[in-house]
Amino acid sequence: MKKVLNPKDFTEILGSYSHGIKVPIGDKEMFFITGQIAMDKNGNAVAPNDIQAQTRFVFENIKKILAEGGASIHDVVKAVIYVTDISKFKEISAIRNEYFYKARPASTLVEINKTVKEGCDIEIEVIAIK
């Protein structure tokens, strides 16, 4: 049986999605975390024009979602990072490396035109197995 993971201090869900889904697979559990952007619980962009602060905010939210299901950032096996300015790669990568120093997941980073929220310049989705 799948379990929905929607931390209480996150923005209200305004559609047919969840911040995360936990699915049992044999003696393990798989976690699918929806793309997270730097948006506070009131729907405001966090630290517009500060890619480092936004990246940290997003990783902290991913940690919260995983923790709600009993997993950690160290259980991540796949990460996809979407950014509106690929020239910020080194800044993003430095922070990414702080969080994934142990997990070392398979990863993709691509440039996009924009995210769903003006002022949010990065979106990160992950898959984890515990």
pLDDT for the residue 10: 84
User: Are the beta carbons of 66 and 20 closer than 8 angstroms?
Assistant: yes
In which domain, by residue range, is 49 found? 3-129
pLDDT tens string 60-117: 999 999 999 999 999 999 999 999 999 999 999 999 999 999 999 999 999 999 999 9
pLDDT tens string 23-58: 999 999 999 999 999 999 998 999 999 999 999 999
What is the spatial distance between Cα 130 and Cα 116, in angstroms, rounded to a whole number? 30
pLDDT for the residue 9: 85
Q: Is 99 helix (H, G, I), strand (E, B) or coil?
A: helix
pTM: 0.95
Q: Is 75 helix (H, G, I), strand (E, B) or coil?
A: helix
Contacts of 18 (CB under 8 A, 6+ apart): 4, 5, 6, 34
What is the spatial distance between Cα 24 and Cα 2, in angstroms, rounded to a whole number? 7
pLDDT for the residue 15: 81
Q: How far is the CA of 17 from the CAs of 4, 22, 65, 78, 113, in angstroms?
A: 9, 13, 14, 20, 22
User: Are the beta carbons of 87 and 121 closer than 8 angstroms?
Assistant: no
CATH of the domain at 103: 3.30.1330.40
How many domains does one find in the chain? Answer: 1
Is the pLDDT at 13 greater than 80, yes or no? no
Is the pLDDT at 14 greater than 90, yes or no? no
